A and B are shown apart, each in its own frame.
Chain A
């Protein structure tokens, strides 16, 4: 069992919780290799995917996870809106609550929306990404992938490269890495760094090349400039030159260094095609891990015990 009712931020989980999620996900990962991938574990439970932002990858991953556990999964797409334009988040929460669902996965454009949901409904709430704040299941699947590929988490040096300021992935991954004894380094131009990175507990470097030889993992963030009114970098070309992962950089990295990316990738910007398709890239392993980790989260929150996991 987890020590928390909801997973709103990665800080809801203790280090033991994180270990339990990863271990449980290990057994679900085996299930996902079978020809028949379905378990009866969550039969009769209702899981709602409440997505206020368009998302195909994350939603599909949660949806598959729910189906593999035999839960009844429902997709509820809505648009984030002020009162004048539609139903408030509180009313949506109360509406879902009245339908007696057991677990709600929420993706929202604004930070804090999962907290708000958790306050006004009985169901378990899992944050599927809120604004530029957090995306805890992404961090868990990233830890899972690192552990599977490199055999450990303790002491790993993980460079998180790119638009950290606007990345909910980084928002969860940094504290998650700290929880398991790894060492996160934020790398990118200063205009893409959060105002107070030390609050997250991470080191900062403005030069990828300087820290590259130290890294066990290069975690390349998607560069999302459409969020910005005034471009925080001179050009995509310059960004790729200074911070993109390419074959030349791979040569200067540790031979066992892996390259990760939360997707969707901008090939030629933060990651070259050559790297993306190389054996050093574990991008598809991350996607694969996503289903197992989300199964583990659903299973553990809804009160399953570990004996039923791989039954």
Chain B
């Protein structure tokens, strides 16, 4: 079965490509990229006016299966990923039970093969039960397909334990994904400590609660040689630490989330729990610094921290409601709307931040728009608009602060290994 993606703007900086061209896909792989191509038989998809890019990946997704299938499942989460333009996600281990054994990784791999619309790369826990006390079976999980390791949701509080995890992991060549939060400083704060916490009378967590641990993880990466990826980096101070560490050659990468890039604490006018996430929304200055970090390359990728929550749990008192927002479906349109259309970044930068950057940080297979490459392809219509409303969202959960916003740049087609996951903006079921 052959496919011809005809007349799109084909963008892939990894192969020096940004031109109107055609892409031919056969048997799950790209066979030809060029002008004026045709295929004897098969499907031709008109991509004129659209941007054709190598497959986007989200390295920070909570699929909630097993344990909270009412909030998300492998099936619904990967459908949301496809709807958002992603060909792959990395699934965080804070499920119930925690993904901290080879068997748990195998379950996820098998479930994804059976029900996943896009590729799922499991992230295993660093410590048993993510309790920060004892190493999890990292080697076993690696053998079953875990691509990285993290106690995401709760940083490892003990520096000694973090060092042990990094030493062990670096020996195996693994990646340590850091949730940076010193709990003796954050103390369960619901919002950023500062103007908004004072005004709303909510307990706050200071930027330093994150920055102290970013600094620690960088020092431990230097000590152990372990590759470290800083998850959901949210402050100007954290960014400065990473920038400086990269300059010294420390093996550190980082991500920023769409909510930290496109919202700040001033958005929290009342007690709307759609704005409650961890790390919390920071100051406008922090937000601007993060955008600058995307431009100068300090930030390797945009990652969603897609965290589905049941409506009845989010509708609690602000301090009681769980942290987290969904993000898979709005990430790309937000980036197109606020970065590409504003000319802050070009399409090539978007490919760097959603494809090559995260794939390289997590050691995932690189995909390129060149003959022989796997046909993992994301197509976006830069001019199409969508109003983000509950009926447009494919995820099982609706906890997003972007509800009601009109965004540009809707993903229209997603190919995963040559198979349609999204077509004409509609999710293609298995």
Task: Enumerate chain A interface residues (CB-CB to B < 8 A).
Answer: 80, 82-83, 88-90, 108, 110-113, 115-116, 130-134, 168, 171, 194-197, 199-200, 229-230
Q: How far is the CA of A82 from the CA of B273 in the complex (A)?
A: 14
Given that A111-B201, A131-B202, A131-B319 are known contacts, is A116 also in contact with B271, CB under 8 Å in the complex?
Answer: yes
Q: Is the CB of B319 within 8 A of A195?
A: no
Q: Are A115 and B206 in contact (CB under 8 A)?
A: no
Give, as a whole number of angstroms, the nearest-CB distance from B417 to chain A: 41
Q: A82-B320, A89-B317, A131-B201 are in contact. List 9 more A-B contacts (CB 8 A).
A: A88-B312, A88-B315, A112-B200, A112-B319, A132-B201, A195-B198, A196-B195, A199-B199, A200-B198
Chain B neighbourhood of A199, CB < 8 A? 195, 198-199
Shortest Cβ gap from A159 to chain B (Å): 19
Shortest C-beta distance, B276 to chain A (Å), equals 11
Q: How far is the CA of A111 from the CA of B270 in the complex (A)?
A: 10
> Of B200, B202, B316, which is within 8 A of A83 by CB?
B316
Q: Mark interface residues in B184-208 (1 if CB within 8 Å of A CB, else 0).
A: 1001000001110111111110100
Q: Quick check: is B318 within 8 A (CB to CB) of the other chain?
A: yes
* Known contacts A82-B320, A116-B317: A130-B201 contact under CB 8 Å: yes
Q: A82-B316, A89-B317, A112-B317 are in contact. Are A194 and B200 (CB under 8 A)?
A: no
Report the separation of the CA atoms of residues A111 and B320 in the bound assembly, to the nearest whole angstrom. 10
Given A83-B312, A111-B319, A112-B271, also A133-B202 (CB < 8 A): yes
Q: List 24 A-B contacts (CB under 8 A).
A: A80-B317, A80-B320, A82-B316, A82-B320, A83-B312, A83-B316, A88-B315, A88-B316, A111-B201, A111-B202, A111-B271, A111-B317, A112-B271, A112-B319, A113-B317, A116-B317, A131-B201, A131-B319, A133-B202, A134-B201, A196-B194, A197-B198, A199-B195, A200-B199
In the complex, what residue of chain B is closest to A90 when comparing beta carbons? Answer: B315
Q: Quick one: which of B198, B316, B319 contacts A194, CB cutoff 8 A?
A: B198
A80 CB contacts on chain B under 8 angstroms? 317, 320
**Residue B35, interface by CB 8 Å:** no
Cβ of B313 within 8 Å of any chain A Cβ, yes or no, is yes
By a CB distance below 8 angstroms, the chain A residues around B317 are 80, 89, 108, 110-113, 116
A88→B320 CA distance, assembly (Å): 11
Interface residues on B, range: 20 to 34
| Complex contact A229–B187 (CB within 8 A) | yes
- Chain B residues with CB under 8 Å of A229's CB are 187
**For residue B204, which residues in chain A have a CB less than 8 angstroms away from its CB?**
195
Interface centre among B197, B204, B271, B317 (most CB of A within 10 A): B317
- The 9 closest A-B CB pairs, nearest first, are A133-B201, A112-B271, A110-B317, A111-B201, A199-B198, A110-B319, A196-B198, A195-B193, A194-B198
A89 to B321, CA, bound (A): 12
User: How close is A6's CB to chain B, nearest CB, in angstroms?
Assistant: 13
Contacting residues, chain B, for A112 (C-beta < 8 A):
200-202, 270-271, 317-319
B201 vs chain A, min Cβ distance (A): 3
A187–B218 Cα distance when bound, in Å, is: 39
Contacts of A195 in B (CB 8 A): 193-194, 197-198, 204, 206
Chain A neighbourhood of B312, CB < 8 A: 83, 88
Give chain B nearest CB distance to A152 CB in angstroms.
29
Tell me, in angstroms, the Cα distance from A208 to B265 when the chains sit together.
33
Chain A residues with CB below 8 A from B271, complex form: 111-112, 115-116
Residue of B187, B200, B203, B206 with most chain A CB atoms under a 10 A cut-off: B200
How many angstroms between the C-alpha atoms of A196 and B204 in the bound complex?
11
| A-chain residues with CB within 8 Å of residue B187 when the two chains form the complex | 229
Distance between Cα atoms of A113 and B315 in the complex (Å): 11
The 8 Å CB contact of B318, one of A88, A111, A168, A194, is A111
* Distance to closest chain B CB from A233 (angstroms): 17
Minimal beta-carbon separation of B232 from chain A (angstroms) = 22
Most buried by B among A80, A171, A194, A195: A195
**Most chain-B CB neighbours within 10 Å: which of A89, A131, A134, A229?**
A131
A198, B168: Cα distance in complex, Å: 48
A89 CB contacts on chain B under 8 angstroms: 316-317
Task: Tell me, in angstroms, the Cα distance from A199 to B266 when the chains sit together.
Answer: 13
Min CB distance A219 to B, Å, is 18
Nearest opposing residue in chain B for A195, CB measure: B193
**Which residues on the A side are within 8 Å of B198 (C-beta)?**
194-197, 199-200
Please, which residue of chain A has its CB at the minimum distance from the CB of B320?
A: A82
A24 to chain B, nearest CB (A): 27
Are A171 and B315 closer than 8 Å at their CB atoms?
no
Across the two chains, which residue of chain B brings its CB closest to A200?
B198
Nearest opposing residue in chain B for A171, CB measure = B201
Question: Which of chain B's residues have a CB closer than 8 A to the CB of A83?
Answer: 312-313, 316
CA distance A83 to B202 in the complex (A): 20
Residues of B within 8 A of A110 (CB): 317-320
Measured CA separation A90–B320 after assembly (Å): 13
Chain A residues positioned under 8 Å from B203 (CB to CB) = 132
Chain A's nearest CB lies how many Å from the CB of B4? 52
CB-CB under 8 A from B315, the residues of chain A are 88, 90
A116, B178: Cα distance in complex, Å: 35
User: Which partner residue on chain A sits nearest B312 by CB separation?
Assistant: A83
In the complex, A75→B317 CA distance in Å? Answer: 21
**B205 to nearest A CB, angstroms?**
10
In the assembled complex, the Cα of A130 lies from the Cα of B204 at a distance in Å of 16
Query: Given the complex of chains A and B, what is the CA–CA distance between A38 and B394 in angstroms?
Result: 60
Please give the distance in Å from A253's CB to the nearest CB on chain B: 29
